[in-house]
């Protein structure tokens, strides 16, 4: 087990022109077999999801993108802090604007696939539409890669 200290505060937080907080996350995944055939992707894909702090929902690791890090660095940091995994960040899946659950504001979120290489420690169904869309994009990207 690895003890990690998450960053705190909003001093370095990035915001867009509309004042929306910029967040970055990833879909940590691994394939049960190397180079699965196109028709095997669905069976080979394993995706890591985490529970929310209050435990009422599931989500992908994500959090604030800070001014002293790259977007990929932020995605990697969130994967370590929230899911306890390291891996290779791959091409961006997209950007989604979503409403904050705790505040009356919106966030602009960027998602990346992350192929898991290391599990630092081990830690239901998805209600968030943008999470489903990001997962669909990951499957599309893996399918496109396997057909090359």
Look up the CATH number of the domain holding residue 125: 3.90.79.10
In a domain, 16, yes or no: no
User: Going along the chain, which residue ranges are E strands?
Assistant: 21-31, 45-47, 50-51, 58-59, 62-64, 85-89, 94-99, 106-119
Domain carrying residue 53: 22-146
Please report the sign of the dihedral spanned by the C-alpha atoms of residue 110, residue 113, residue 116, residue 121.
Answer: positive
Task: Give the CA count within 13 Å in the CB-facing half-sphere of 44.
Answer: 17
Q: Is the pLDDT of residue 2 over 50?
A: no
More confident of the two residues 137 and 90: 90
Q: How many domains does the chain have?
A: 1
pLDDT tens per residue across span 64-83:
999 999 999 999 999 999 99
In a domain, 134, yes or no: yes
């Amino acid at each position: 087990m690895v003890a990690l200290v998450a960053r705190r505060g909003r001093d370095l937080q990035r915001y867009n022109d509309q004042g929306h907080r910029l967040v970055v996350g990833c879909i940590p995944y691994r394939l049960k077999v190397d180079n699965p055939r196109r028709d095997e992707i669905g069976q080979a894909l394993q995706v890591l999801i985490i529970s929310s702090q209050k435990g009422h929902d599931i989500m992908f690791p994500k959090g604030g993108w800070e001014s002293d890090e790259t977007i990929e660095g932020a995605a990697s940091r969130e994967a370590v802090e929230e899911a306890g995994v390291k891996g290779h960040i791959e091409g961006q899946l997209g950007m989604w604007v979503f409403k904050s659950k705790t505040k009356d504001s919106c966030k602009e979120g960027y998602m990346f696939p992350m192929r898991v290489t290391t599990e630092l420690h081990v830690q239901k169904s998805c209600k968030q539409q943008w999470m489903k869309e990001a997962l669909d994009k990951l499957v599309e990207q893996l399918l496109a890669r396997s057909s090359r």
